[in-house]
């Protein structure tokens, strides 16, 4: 943990593509959001702790 904090405090890593530049940490956050979004789309919801399937119908 101390090592992770030290890496974070070091001088910033920046990613360049031509005129586009972004700090690595921001890029990772945005990528993580996209990945989580895709996972939320793809992974079957099925039965969670709060949503049960009782054959989808209650008279």
Partner 1 sequence: MSGAGAAARRETARRPADSWTRALRERIERTVPPGQALPDRQPVFVSSWIYVFGVLTVASLVVVVATGCVLAVGGVAWWHVSSLGHFVNSLHLWSVELFFGFMVIHLWGKFWMAAWRGGRLLTWVTGVIAFVTSIGTAFTGYLSQSNFDSQWISAEAKDGINAIGVGAWFNVLNPGQMLLWHVVLLPLAIGLITVLHVVLVRRHGVVPPIDARDGE
Partner 2 sequence: MSEVATHTPTRPRQTRPGRPHPVATRTPDSHSFATRPYDLVKEFVVALAVVALLTAALAAVFSSPDERSITMSGWAQAAPADVVATATSELAGTSVSATYGAPYNTASEGQKVLGIPLQKWGGVRIPVDSAALVLDPLTRAAADAPTKAALAAWRSAPAGTRTAWATAYGDALAKAPDGNPAAVASGSYGPVPVLAQSFLAVARSGGLEGQLAASGNFYGGDQTRTILLLSDGAYLEDTARAQQLGGDQWGMMNETGNYPGQPWMWLYTFWYQVAPFSTSDNADAQVWGLMMVLTLGLMFLPLIPGLRDVPRLVPVHRLIWRDWYREHPPVRRDRPAPKTGDEPGR
Q: Which stretches of the chain bind partner 1, using CB under 8 A? A: 29, 32-33, 36-37, 39-41, 43, 45, 51, 56-58
Cα 56 to chain centroid distance, Å, stands at 31
- Between residues 25 and 35, which has the closer beta carbon with respect to partner 2? 25
Spatial distance between the Cα atoms of 58 and 53, rounded to a whole number of angstroms: 11
State the binding partner of 17 from partner 2, partner 1, none, CB within 5 to 8 A by kind: none
Spatial distance between the Cα atoms of 11 and 25, rounded to a whole number of angstroms: 12
Q: 16 to 45, contacts with partner 2 by CB under 8 A?
A: 19-26, 28-30, 41-42, 45
């Amino acid at each position: 943990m101390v090592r992770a904090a030290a890496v974070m405090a070091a001088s910033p890593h920046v990613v360049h593509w031509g005129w586009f530049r972004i700090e690595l940490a921001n890029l990772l956050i945005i990528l993580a959001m996209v990945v989580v979004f895709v996972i939320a789309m793809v992974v079957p919801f099925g039965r969670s702790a709060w949503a049960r399937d009782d054959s989808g119908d209650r008279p």
